[in-house]
Amino acid sequence: MRNLNIVTDQLPCSFMHSFCLLGTAVLFLFACRQGDTFQEGQLLGRWEITKAERNGRETEYLRRGYFIIEQSMMTINITGADEKGPYKMANNKLVMGGKNFELEVVKNDTLIVKYLAGPNSEFVFHMLKKKKEDVN
């Protein structure tokens, strides 16, 4: 009977030790994890701005804006006029000319982008992807 007590006394300690090690490993992985990386293929298509925020407040001004992202070219309309040019994608940013668009969320039909227009002007664009049959 005494040997049985030794085994049962060690079981909770061993279980707790394993649980603590597992918890520490999970925390370590989350702490070391870099931000999500997005693939260029996820971005291709026409994205229409459905909501825009300037310095944390919603603005109606950019509601009709859009991004058209093609293989090596991008067209944006956030000022009322089309701007077209080549872009590069690096570190979850789209860079076109002097404009840097930080990708915050990229899902099947949802794109959220942060854009710093100046030191006191931060925009967040919430966009939906247009279906191919709806484009034209």
Give the phi and the psi of residue 96 in degrees, each rounded to 5: -130, 115
Model pLDDT for residues 102-133, shown as the tens digit of each residue: 999 999 899 999 999 989 999 999 999 998 76
CA dihedral 74, 79, 80, 81 (to 10 degrees): -50
pTM: 0.69
Residue 32 has pLDDT above 50, yes or no: no
**Token pair belonging to 47:** 């994205």
CA distances to 43, 49, 123 from 73, rounded to whole Å, are: 12, 19, 22
Nearest Cα residue to 113 out of 70, 76, 73, 64: 76
More confident residue, 79 or 58: 58
